[in-house]
Amino acid sequence: MTVASPIDQAQCSTGSPRPCPPPLRWWTPAVAFAVSAVVLSVLVIAFGTNNGPLDDPNQAFQRDGALHNGPQLPDRIGGIALGGSSVVVLFERRQPPGQTLAQWRAGATRSGSRLVVAVAGKPGTSALRDALGMRTPNDGGPPVGYAIVDRSRRVRYATLDPAYLDHASEVELLTAGLTGHAS
Amino acid sequence: MTADQGGWNRDYRALRPRTLAWQLVLLLAIEAVLFQRYDAEQARFHWSTHFLDALAFTSLVLLAWLSIAGRPGPRYPLLTLLAFHVYAIVPDLMFSEGSAHSQWQNVFLGHIAEHYLPGGAVAWLAIALVLSGTYVAALTVWLRGRWADTPNDLRGPLRSGSDPATAGNRRRWSFVPVP
């Protein structure tokens, strides 16, 4: 059984006065579609998302990479002063190791932003989480990720990101993007 | 479904098995690289969404081509899918070069907005499969029509999977092709 027409297409060259058969059997596209649909469905459903316990249930809201015009915050939340300069608020469940955090801080604050680490259970963290609109991860626990507030206290970015340590360059890119905006 | 005498090569050029085969190899190779790149960034969701969006859009283009031109096209359908996928991820390439996403980037097949479709990648999977399935159904009808229009002496020997719509011709299908 072949998917291609058994006819030598050379005998059906341009100018042939007689109708020539197609180069594919009529059922070939349907079979190819069925196989592709199964493979693609498995690929997308089983491997097409990163959906761990600390990830966002709706992946659209995780690391969308765009600066938004979120709500404007008061000048102090949970004991943290806002305004004057942009602020990166890092949400974690435990205090990150000093060396690891130092490397991340270097990238996150390169554009002059301040870094605030909000550890779950510490005073002020819940207030910051609510004010910045941090979403709840799959496991229902406190968020692991970060938010960016510009110098006029407007929330520009808020995302869960359990692998934030690997993405310092993204924070650097986004905080650099605040420059030139009416921030 | 009228046969265009004198234009067989043009009518069938998008369906040549050898051309489709090398397109498929190239498509799979490049998509594997792209998937690996997105996976390394913990961003498989973005690969899925943009690929399925490109597949849905490509299916619409192929369907429109078949409906308007009356023949399958463009000449390289799988490369068309690849081209639309690459077009859809241009904002991600810009991001990797240091430019944050912005709403204007929706011109790239809805690069920003498409993520917010309820149901996410699974919804896009359903849309892509419905549209590509519709195209395949239309192409199947077109192929059956072409096989039905083909003189018996050019159809070749009967093989498994012959068109049931022309089952009445089965005996005559047993001809060896006549040069």
Question: How many domains, in total, are found in chain A?
Answer: 2
Q: Indicate if the pLDDT at residue B65 is higher than 70.
A: yes
Look at A16 and A69; give whichever has higher pLDDT: A69
Query: B92 with B37: CB under 8 angstroms?
Result: no
**Structural domain of A42:** 6-47
- The reply to whether A1 falls in a domain is no
Check residue A107 and give its pLDDT.
82
> Average pLDDT, stretch A32-56?
92
> Which residues of chain A make contact with B15, given a CB cutoff of 8 A?
22-24
Q: Cβ–Cβ contacts within 10 Å for residue B134, how many?
A: 14
Confidence of residue A15 (pLDDT cuts 50, 70, 90): low
Provide the total of helices (H) and of strands (E) in chain A, helices listed first.
Answer: 4, 6
Ranges A137-151, A165-179, B21-35: which has the least confidence: A165-179
Let me know whether A158 and A135 are in one domain: yes
ipTM: 0.85
Q: Flag whether residue B176 sits within 8 Å of chain A, measured between CB atoms.
A: no
| DSSP one-letter code for A134 | P
Let me know whether A94 and A141 are in one domain: yes
Check residue A132 and give its pLDDT.
97
> Which residues of chain B make contact with A173, given a CB cutoff of 8 A?
95, 98-100
Question: A75-104, pLDDT tens digit by residue?
Answer: 999 899 999 999 999 999 999 888 888 888
Check residue A7 and give its pLDDT.
54
> Average pLDDT, stretch A34-53?
91
Tell me how many residue pairs between chain A and chain B have CB atoms under 8 A apart.
162
Q: Indicate if the pLDDT at residue B58 is higher than 80.
A: yes
How far is it, in rounded angstroms, from Cα A115 to Cα A148?
A: 9
Reduced 3-state DSSP string for chain B: CCCCCCCHHHHHHHHCHHHHHHHHHHHHHHHHHHHHHHHHCCCHHHHHHHHHHHHHHHHHHHHHHHHHHCCCCCCCHHHHHHHHHHHHCHHHHHHHCCCCECHHHHHCCCCCHHHHCCCHHHHHHHHHHHHHHHHHHHHHHHHHHHHHHCCHHHCCCCCCCCCHHHHHHCCHHHCCCCC
- The reply to whether A54 falls in a domain is no
> Average pLDDT, stretch B57-66?
98
Let me know whether A71 and A152 are in one domain: yes
Check residue A4 and give its pLDDT.
60
Let me know whether A91 and A166 are in one domain: yes
Residue of B nearest to A34 (CA): B133
| DSSP one-letter code for A18 | S
Confidence of residue B150 (pLDDT cuts 50, 70, 90): confident
Residue whose C-alpha is closest to residue B46's, from B80, B78, B93, B97: B93
Let me know whether A76 and A29 are in one domain: no
How far is it, in rounded angstroms, from Cα B167 to Cα B173?
A: 9
Mutation pick from B90, B150, B153 vs chain A, by most beta carbons of A within 10 Å, is: B150
Question: B78-135, pLDDT tens digit by residue?
Answer: 999 999 999 999 999 999 999 999 999 999 999 999 999 999 999 999 999 999 999 9
How far is it, in rounded angstroms, from Cα B23 to Cα A174?
A: 38
Look at B32 and A25; give whichever has higher pLDDT: B32
How far is it, in rounded angstroms, from Cα B112 to Cα B107?
A: 9
Mutation pick from B1, B4, B9 vs chain A, by most beta carbons of A within 10 Å, is: B9
- The reply to whether A52 falls in a domain is no
- The reply to whether A132 falls in a domain is yes
Check residue A14 and give its pLDDT.
54
The amino acid occupying position A77 is I
The amino acid occupying position A29 is P
> Average pLDDT, stretch A104-124?
91
Structure tokens at A149: 């507030």
- How many residues are present in chain A? 183
Q: Indicate if the pLDDT at residue B164 is higher than 50.
A: no
Q: Indicate if the pLDDT at residue B139 is higher than 50.
A: yes
Check residue B104 and give its pLDDT.
96
Confidence of residue A9 (pLDDT cuts 50, 70, 90): low
Check residue A99 and give its pLDDT.
85
Ranges A16-20, A44-48, B24-28, B97-101: which has the least confidence: A16-20
The amino acid occupying position B137 is A
Let me know whether A67 and A148 are in one domain: yes
Query: B173 with B162: CB under 8 angstroms?
Result: yes
How far is it, in rounded angstroms, from Cα B139 to Cα B135?
A: 6
Structure-derived torsion over alpha carbons of residues A75, A77, A79, A84, reported in degrees to the nearest 10:
-30
Query: A28 with B20: CB under 8 angstroms?
Result: no
- The reply to whether A161 falls in a domain is yes
Let me know whether A30 and A80 are in one domain: no
Interchain pair B9, A58: CB under 8 A: no
Q: Could you report how far apart the first and last alpha carbons of chain A are, in Å? A: 67
Let me know whether A107 and A169 are in one domain: yes
Let me know whether A70 and A23 are in one domain: no
- The reply to whether A28 falls in a domain is yes
Q: Indicate if the pLDDT at residue B27 is higher than 70.
A: yes
How far is it, in rounded angstroms, from Cα A161 to Cα A167?
A: 9
Let me know whether A94 and A172 are in one domain: yes
- The reply to whether A156 falls in a domain is yes
- The reply to whether A53 falls in a domain is no
Least CB-CB distance to A48: which of B45, B116, B159?
A: B45
